[in-house]
A and B are shown apart, each in its own frame.
Chain A
Amino acid sequence: MGAIRLENISAEFCLESVNLEIDDGEFVVVLGRSGAGKSTILNILAGFLEHSGNLYLDGKLINHIPTQKRGIGYLHQAIHLFPNLSVYENIAFGLKAQNFPEETISKEIEKMAKMLQISHLLQRYPKNLSGGEKQRVGIARSIVTKPKVLLLDEPLSSLDDATAKEIRKELKSLAAMFKLTVVYVTHDLEDATELASKIIYIENGKIQKITKKEVDECIYYKKTLE
């Protein structure tokens, strides 16, 4: 389960009375220009930022639940793999922190690494990975703990087109396979049309829903993103 409800959420200088409902298993893409407040929504959902209003996860108020207990996965655009840990240890980090038995950890990592085709990278350190490899490891680390909600902050922005396309496909199938509720922040229209089951457009801290067709036609893009 991972249904989200934002009720009059405001954050200083960023968001203004945002109301939004995201159904369980939905893949929501949040579009908008730089500084529009897209990442602020993710930071509030993750519990990194102070806000007013109420935030619900599966009908439960989570305003005061710390990040660690929210059951979310989070991937920032710069990925931020822990440089002091090998790929294996990076992916294992969340499971170890939550005291999973070693046997379960190694099984889960093996499964995840196979799925994302990174089995050959497990002993490497992040400094020896390419951008695409880092992205795959970051995704594996975020979902291996089986979060209810996955928050992605422009995860493909630093990749070349071919790699971005490949990872976009993998993300879509992983989200479906794990029945994840995904909130995906981007300014890339291709990301939105290919991934989203719902598209949210945000400008000056206010949001509105738009259709894929509108994005396809670049109506909003021409009007507001350019």
Chain B
Amino acid sequence: MDKSINILLKNSPILVFLLIWEVAGWIAATPLLPSFTKVVGEFYDLLISGILIENLGHSFVRVVIGYLAGGLFGIIIGILMGTNKSIETALKPLISILLPIPTLGWLPLMMLWVGINEALPIILIFICAFFPVAYATLLGIKEIPQEYINSAKALGASNGYILMRIILPLASPSIFTGLRLESGMVWKTVLAAEMFAIPTGIGALMINAESLIRVDVIMVSLMVLALMSFGFEKSIYALEKAAIGKWR
């Protein structure tokens, strides 16, 4: 009983918001503010027609490729910087300067350099994931007390063995934090790239809906985007729990 009351209380702000939205939609009676049930109906129509799945599929593939490539490359560069002083000295200032640039700040430059094609959103997502993950990996490695490394060396472990068994696992909480923070950002990035430059994907669906004054479609797209972003972050969190939850 207590549990169901708790669930109800926890979700009550959402329920109240949906109720207000529904009533406001009915009162306004204008296409500019469709009710919640109208938006759900449109979601169903877009799903059945395959339009939503097709556009979501385009966005999803771009996000996954860009995020995995950027994350992986970020981890590799972070490890190189964290374990080699010369590489750190050479790369850290560059990364520190480029890290604060908002990903969308790269969009005009990339449009000119890469052109308006499939590579554009993927490169932007790559940039979005790369810098923070590289920095998080570096910080994670730097925070490992030297005594762990010394103890491992005294036990006869080679540098490669120490990297795989000690450095990477102990830096992984920081790496996962970087990955998790960017898991939402990459969806914002793909949305913007598709709205401005690419004719397919959730962002393109939204911008097309805007030109047809289809607020219901825009709202469906926003809801899908929110769900994808939330799901992505939760997946990374679940991966983190599975990888390091036992000992952390």
Q: Interface of A with B (CB < 8 Å)?
A: 46-48, 66-70, 72-76, 78, 80, 82-85, 93-94, 97-98, 125-127, 141-142, 145, 151
B136 adjacent to chain A (CB < 8 Å): no
Pick the residue among B155, B158, B244 that contacts A93 (CB under 8 A): B155
Pick the residue among A94, A127, A151 that contacts B156 (CB under 8 A): A94
Contacts of B156 in A (CB 8 A): 68-69, 94, 97-98, 145
How far apart sit A78 and B145, CA to CA, in the bound complex (Å)? Answer: 11
The interface-forming segment of B51-59, B91-99, B146-154, B179-187 is B146-154
Pick the residue among A76, A78, A97, A126 that contacts B155 (CB under 8 A): A97
Query: Contacts A68-B158, A78-B147, A97-B161: A83 and B153 contacting too (C-beta < 8 A)?
Result: no
Contacts of B17 in A (CB 8 A): none
Docked-complex contact A84 and B169, CB < 8 angstroms? yes
Docked-complex contact B154 and A73, CB < 8 angstroms? yes
Chain B interface category by residue count: 20 to 34
Contacts of A73 in B (CB 8 A): 154-155
Q: Mark B82-95, 1 if CB is under 8 A from A, else 0.
A: 00000000000000
List 8 extra interface pairs beyond A68-B156, A74-B151, A125-B247, CB under 8 A.
A68-B153, A80-B147, A82-B152, A83-B170, A97-B155, A97-B156, A141-B151, A142-B154
Pick the residue among B148, B157, B244 that contacts A97 (CB under 8 A): B157
Docked-complex contact A97 and B150, CB < 8 angstroms? no
How far apart sit A83 and B151, CA to CA, in the bound complex (Å)? Answer: 13
Pick the residue among B147, B158, B169, B244 that contacts A76 (CB under 8 A): B147
How far apart sit A70 and B156, CA to CA, in the bound complex (Å)? Answer: 8
Contacts of B170 in A (CB 8 A): 82-84
Q: Interface of B with A (CB < 8 Å)?
A: 145, 147-148, 150-158, 161, 165-166, 169-170, 244, 246-248
* Chain A proximity of B140: nearest CB distance (Å): 13
Contacts of A85 in B (CB 8 A): 165, 247
Task: Output the nearest chain B residue to A77 by Cβ-Cβ distance.
Answer: B147
Contacts of B155 in A (CB 8 A): 73, 93-94, 97, 141-142, 145
Task: Output the nearest chain B residue to A78 by Cβ-Cβ distance.
Answer: B147
Which of B145, B150, B153, B158 is most buried by chain A, counting CB atoms within 10 A of its CB? B153
Which of A69, A84, A151 is most buried by chain B, counting CB atoms within 10 A of its CB? A84
Docked-complex contact A83 and B247, CB < 8 angstroms? yes
